[in-house]
Amino acid sequence: MNAPAQIQALLAETPHGPEATRLREIPYNYTSFSDREIVIRLLGEESWSLLDALRGARQTGRSARMLYEVLGDIWAVRRNPYLQDDMLDNPKRRQELIDALHHRLAEVDKRRLTVEDDGAENDAHARQRSDNVVKLLRAASKAVADFGEEFKQVYDLRKRTTKVLGRYTEKHNICFDA
């Protein structure tokens, strides 16, 4: 077996409580990047602080899961050249993905508004929580817009590159596939 001989000692040293290592919540993250690193790369440092502060106020976690799904989808496509090629080759599928990402964010916003309408707005903590969610949604919406724009930029760059290189070689010699 490959387990270390002192497995019980290692397990006993695992911290418990708020400092304990959290399981990854962003789906499709099979990389060495933590949730924190991904959130910072996609949404910025301030968004990580907001998200970290909101973690303690979770009621069901459904909104957080939807936000993490959006980030997971963006992360998976950005990290996989085959998925990127597929999205570039299929504008309809790409638009459906982007629409689905925006839909999830809209659902998070609906849930935020529902909580406000339930009378929680009188509570200062609830208002602050709602404001933080709005900031996160703005950052996530920008990330989705940037994600969609990246495809347009790559498409335009490939088109220009094909045009320039096409002067010097046959078109079938110019490949961008993964």
Q: What is the pLDDT of residues 72-88, one digit of tens each?
A: 999 999 999 999 999 99
Return d(Cα 123, Cα 99) in angstroms, integer: 34
Q: Where residue 18 falls among pLDDT bands split at 50, 70, 90?
A: very low
In this prediction, residue 130 has a pLDDT band, given cuts at 50, 70 and 90, of confident
Reported as a single tens digit per residue, the pLDDT across 19-33 is 444 567 888 878 788
Structure tokens of 92?
Answer: 């309809």
144 close to 98: Cβ distance less than 8 angstroms: yes
Q: How far apart are CA 29 and CA 35, in angstroms?
A: 8
Question: Mind listing the pLDDT tens digit for each residue in 37-95?
Answer: 999 999 999 999 888 888 777 666 788 889 999 999 999 999 999 999 999 999 999 99
Say if 159 falls within a structural domain: yes
Determine, yes or no, domain membership for 80: yes
In whole angstroms, how large is the CA radius of gyration of the chain? Answer: 21
| Domain count across the chain | 1
Q: What local confidence, expressed as pLDDT, does residue 60 receive?
A: 63
Using DSSP, state whether 65 is helix, strand or coil.
Answer: helix
In a domain, 58, yes or no: yes
Q: pTM above 0.85? A: no
The torsion angles phi and psi of 24, rounded to 5 degrees, stand at -70, 140
Residue 174, pLDDT score: 93
Q: For residues 173 and 65, what is the distance between their CA atoms, to the nearest angstrom?
A: 44
Q: Say if CB 88 and CB 94 are below 8 A apart.
A: yes
Q: Is residue 171 part of a domain?
A: no
Is 96 part of any domain?
A: yes
- Decide if 47 contacts 88 (C-beta within 8 A): no
176 located within any domain: no
More confident residue, 171 or 3: 171
| CA–CA separation, 13 and 94 (whole Å) | 46
pLDDT at residue 117 is higher than 70: no
154 has pLDDT over 60? yes
Domain range for 121 is: 29-164
- Cα–Cα distance for residue pair 154/176, rounded to 1 Å: 10
